Chains A and B, each alone.
Chain A
Amino acid sequence: MSAFVWLLFALTVVLDVFGQTAFKLGLGRLGDDLSGLAFWRAVATSPWVLAGFAGYCVEAVSWMYVVGHAPLSVVGPMAAMSYVGAVLAGRLFLGETAGRRRWIGAGLVTIGAGLVGASLG
């Protein structure tokens, strides 16, 4: 795997976590009293939701390039790093508290991703 492909891979993880965080932030600011068309209009005009969606678009194309230029058995499992990023982002930006299981799980995913990356030799 070239340095460029690794860089793009890191970008897909960052954009995935950014998208999830942005959706959560955007939806949290809509208020609870919206329904039907009004809800979807608010979703479609929320700056956070739009930013997250734009990130997803870039991510999808980047991911296509990454998986096309790297072994699927390496980058596929390693994409689980976005779960780790989601736990961290939840803690840092959303004020979420993660239980012990979630931290242990995030640690295991990180170790596993390290092993898979190292398996390239």
Chain B
Amino acid sequence: MADPAPVALPATRPKALQAAIWGWILFVAVETATQVVFKLAGATLDDSAGPAALVRHALSTPIVFLGFGLYFLGFLIWITILKDVDLGRAFPMTATIYLATLAAAVFLFHEHLNPTRIAGVLVIIAGVVTLASDEDTHRPETGAPEKAVIEG
């Protein structure tokens, strides 16, 4: 890629730079935490009782609300980032969420990564960066790849 520059940061203003870096760290942390909490909350959902019981259960389980709260918080942070950074710059950076989510899967949930999976994730990250660095990328992204991160 011709333009691998990470983010157009106002390098002449150290305070703004510092704030932007902390903003990104916070964003990736919240997005990753969202996936972790979603996984913990989702594991308590059981569809065998039928959709009505599922919704009732979801509405009475605190960790479900924590997950949605984090989801919304990530959305707010993302909007704040977009206020200062062009989408075309910010969007490729969301690829870092995939690495953080992968680390969470390995260290928190002890998932085993085989070479095929690692290769696949690297190809996905390369794809997201390529796709997002297109000249006039317009995607009103709201946080997760969601999930995948994420988000989605």
The answer to whether the Cβ of B78 comes within 8 Å of any Cβ in the partner chain is no
Q: In whole angstroms, how far apart are the Cα atoms of A59 and B151 in the complex?
A: 10
Interface residues of A (CB under 8 A from B): 4, 12, 16, 20, 23-24, 59-61, 63-69, 71-80, 82-83, 86-87, 96, 98-99, 101-102, 104-119
Of the A-B pairs whose beta carbons lie under 8 Å apart in the complex, a sample of 27, sorted by A's number, is A60-B71, A64-B38, A64-B45, A73-B111, A73-B113, A73-B117, A76-B35, A77-B121, A78-B148, A82-B152, A83-B132, A98-B134, A99-B135, A108-B127, A108-B130, A108-B131, A109-B123, A109-B128, A111-B127, A112-B120, A112-B123, A115-B117, A115-B119, A116-B121, A117-B120, A118-B116, A119-B120
Asked if B41 and A64 sit within 8 Å, CB to CB, the answer is: yes
Known contacts being A60-B68, A61-B58, A115-B116, is A79 close to B131, with CB within 8 Å?
no
Q: In whole angstroms, how far apart are the Cα atoms of A86 and B87 in the complex?
A: 15
Q: Which of B31-84 contact A (CB under 8 A)?
A: 35-36, 38-45, 47, 55, 58, 64, 67-68, 71
Asked if B123 and A76 sit within 8 Å, CB to CB, the answer is: no
Known contacts being A64-B64, A68-B44, A114-B120, is A79 close to B146, with CB within 8 Å?
yes
Asked if B131 and A106 sit within 8 Å, CB to CB, the answer is: yes
Known contacts being A61-B58, A68-B39, A79-B148, is A115 close to B120, with CB within 8 Å?
yes
Across the interface, B131 reaches (CB within 8 A) one of A69, A73, A87, namely A87
